[in-house]
Structure formats: C-alpha cells, structure tokens
Chains A and B, each alone.
Chain A
C-alpha cells in the first residue's frame, strides 16, 4: 500500500513541477512576444513616415531618383518582412537608405530649413531610438527564453509543450558597428 502512496505522491509532485515550468515558459514567451510587438509598432511607424519624407525631399531634389527608389524598396522590404530576423535586415536596409536621403538633403539648405522636414527628421530619430530601446528588451527576453528552452530539464517540457525558440532582432555584433562608416564615407546619418 505504501508503495502506491509513494508512487502517487511522486507523480503528483512531478505534475506540479511540470506545470510550474510550463507556466514559467509561457510567461517568458509572452514577454518576448510583447517585446516584439513594441519593436513592430515602431517599425510600422517608421515605414509610415518614409513616404512623407520622400515627398518632402522630392519637392527640392526630384532628380535623385536612385535614392528615392532605394528608400521605397527598403520600405517595401520592411512591410513584407516576416519574423524578427527578416525585419531586422529590412530595418538595416532602411536605415542605410534613409541615411543616404539625409545625406542628399545636406545640399538643399531650404529643404533643411523647412519645418515639415525638421519634424520628419525628429520623428525618425525618435523611432530609431525607440527601436533601439525595444530591441534591448526584446533580445534580453529572447535570450532568457531560449536558454531556458535549451537547458535540462526545461527542454523536456518545452518539447512536450511545443515551445519553439525565438529569433533575435538585429543582435548587436562588433562587425555591425563598423559597417555603416565603411559604406558611406562622410555621409551624415539621420541624426
């Protein structure tokens, strides 16, 4: 009889333990999801600002077709991106293209002085800051979440519960930091 009790007790304890781990993983996963939606909101806002920016610059520098096309292409890539890794790539592309657009605008003092342009520039800087902030939180939670999924014994529960690892968004790498200055010597960033 005692053996049965022990077995029942062990099974119950195991079940409680599994539920606790399951709930913890769900919570971490939700946090990562919330972190991602913070990034997503800002990327959308950024994509919405781009047409206005293109319009503003076009009024002064209509012949810079190539730059406009690059910016528009980057915007399309941003909107079509699925998943953090793709969105990250598209966002980098957009940052580079917008940087070129601002570099072009350097040559038009009237454009730079216009209130509309300054406001757009300000808004874009703000979205960039917010993407950076949201990225720090998101990557941190993804790191926590993924390392739980990879480590024993949580990985057992993760397998059973169908948890999948999440992608990082623009994970900071030392090589990344150097790339823009090589690509655009002397180009002014959107700052």
Chain B
C-alpha cells in the first residue's frame, strides 16, 4: 500500500467512523425510546450529531484534556522539541507538529489532532527520562509517521467517539436498571429487552471498531519511523525498553488506549488478561520488534548485549 492509498483509506474510514457513530446513537435513541416511550430518539440523535461535529474539529484538544497533555516550549524541553522538528523535516511535513508533555512516570507517547497542521505529539515525562536521544528520536518518528500517514484524525476521532458511546450506554443502562420507578407507562417487554441488548452491544461494537483501527497501523508507523530516522535499531531498542517497564499510565482508559505507541493498560488481569489477545489495541511488542529486526537485518539481543556491557 502506498502512502497515498493509506491516506485515502484513512479519510474514508474517518467518514465511516462518524457514520457508524451516528448509527449507534440512533440505535441507542431507539432503544431508550423503546424502554421509556416519548421522543428520545430525536433528542439523542440530535445531541450525538452536535457532538460528532465538535469531535471532528476539536478532537485534538479533547484528547489533550483527557490525557493531561500540556503544550510545552522549546526552552522547556529542547531535546524533545528538536526530535519533533527533525522527524517532521525528514517526513516532509510542511510544518512541525505542536509538542505536548504529559506529567506521568509511565513511559509512553501518542499523536492526536486533525490535519497535519493541527496535530500534536505528546510524550510523557517518564519517556523523556528513560530514552536516550536515539531512542527518543525513533519514538517521535513513529508518532510523526502516524501524522504523515494521516492516522491521527481517525485515531483521535475513534477516541472521542468511542469513549462517549461507552459512557452514554453505561448511564442509560444504569437508569434502565435502577430508575424503574420513573418509567412511563406503555412499555412493551419485548421492546425493552431489545433495547437493553442494544445498550449492551453498543460499547462492544464501538470497541471492536477501535481495535480494528490500530493494530496494522502500528506496524505501518514502525515502518515509517525506520524510514524517517533511517534507524530501525533505535526503535527496536526503544520498544525493548518499553517492554521492560511495568508502570501504568495514570490517565489511561479504554477510550484513548489505542492512541499510544505502546498499550498503556499494562496490568491486564482477570478476564481481560485471559482474553488479552482479543481485546488488545496493540500488537505484542515482541512481534513489532521482530518485524523491525527483519526490516533492518539485525538482532535485538545482540544490540542489547552490546549496550549493557560498556554502560
């Protein structure tokens, strides 16, 4: 797939995503109306429509406020800002994206926003503390790759739209179960059951969309990173370091998980741990390192050994 095809497919998918979002809310509206009667369908669909428009234009700042990513200047973080500048020059972006920092000890990074001009790259303070210059550049190049491939709008939209579907159907379900007394008459039991089933299915469908978005995209962005820096080894080393780390991101949640370079939800246990392969938003780091090894014709184990001996 060429870059142009990738860009086109991302644009189509962004449109489809918004459409699916609209359909899900028409479904939720229909479900609520089936349970309560009244004209909830039009109200909920209307609110969803307005929200989708806001999300299309402001998804970047919405994600920034959810994740706690704050704008920083070159004076504050010269090395990070330079890494972003260099990666954007090598990627051929018209102007470097904005730079944000998340104050969090867990090493991670993401890119969000709409068009390349309004996109930004965010890194956690943990990432800045852990990576050397070469590794940081590789991670930043991965995020720059997402921006160049036009992944960011689709991924940011998925974050702000999917998160809200889960939230709304959660609230609606809670009311359906515990707010029985306020129910208006004329509820048809069959319609009610269909309604509740739809409310349960909505977030699952939304997460399905979200997961299908990001896995292949991560491999592509890894490839872009290698192309931008000319250094697949650097990214492999960075991913290896991320793999060693077990801290969990404070602001991480299901809605924004797929944005990050590595899944921020590390403590997968219980049901989620058992089904982790099914619900992961990211391919396993080992698989990504392996594909980088193939690309660059090197062995990470040899590199890591080298690195540990002198230092």
For residue B15, CB closer than 8 A to chain A, the reply is no
For residue A105, CB closer than 8 A to chain B, the reply is no
Give bound CA distance, A84 to B91, whole Å: 19
For residue A134, CB closer than 8 A to chain B, the reply is yes
Give bound CA distance, A133 to B90, whole Å: 4
For residue A35, CB closer than 8 A to chain B, the reply is yes
- Across the interface, do B82 and A136 meet the contact criterion of CB distance under 8 Å? no
Count of CB-CB pairs between chains A and B under 8 Å: 26
> Chain B's nearest CB lies how many Å from the CB of A118?
13
Residue B86 contacts which of A34, A133, A141 (CB distance < 8 angstroms)?
A: A133
Residue A38 contacts which of B87, B89, B230 (CB distance < 8 angstroms)?
A: B89
- Across the interface, do B85 and A130 meet the contact criterion of CB distance under 8 Å? yes
Give bound CA distance, A59 to B172, whole Å: 75
- Across the interface, do A130 and B89 meet the contact criterion of CB distance under 8 Å? yes
Which residues of B sit under 8 angstroms from A31, Cβ to Cβ? 92
For residue B199, CB closer than 8 A to chain A, the reply is no
Binary B-proximity of A25-55 (CB < 8 A = 1, otherwise 0): 0000001001100100000000000000000
- When C-beta atoms are compared, the residue in chain B nearest to A125 turns out to be B82
Binary A-proximity of B70-86 (CB < 8 A = 1, otherwise 0): 00000000000010011
Give bound CA distance, A137 to B144, whole Å: 13
Which residues of B sit under 8 angstroms from A133, Cβ to Cβ? 86-87, 89-90, 228
Give bound CA distance, A78 to B218, whole Å: 41
Which residues of A sit under 8 angstroms from B92, Cβ to Cβ? 31, 34-35, 137, 141
For residue A64, CB closer than 8 A to chain B, the reply is no
For residue A69, CB closer than 8 A to chain B, the reply is no
- When C-beta atoms are compared, the residue in chain A nearest to B90 turns out to be A133
Which residues of A sit under 8 angstroms from B82, Cβ to Cβ? 126, 129
Give bound CA distance, A35 to B228, whole Å: 14
Question: Which A residues are closer than 8 A to B by beta carbons?
Answer: 31, 34-35, 38, 126, 129-130, 133-134, 136-137, 141
Known contacts A133-B90, A133-B228, A134-B89, then 15 further A-B pairs from the complex at CB < 8 Å, ordered by chain A residue: A31-B92, A34-B92, A34-B94, A35-B92, A38-B89, A126-B82, A130-B85, A130-B86, A130-B89, A133-B89, A136-B90, A137-B89, A137-B90, A137-B91, A141-B92
Give 21 CB contacts A-B under 8 Å: A31-B92, A34-B92, A34-B94, A35-B92, A38-B89, A126-B82, A129-B86, A130-B85, A130-B86, A130-B89, A133-B87, A133-B90, A134-B89, A134-B90, A136-B90, A136-B228, A136-B230, A137-B89, A137-B90, A137-B92, A141-B92
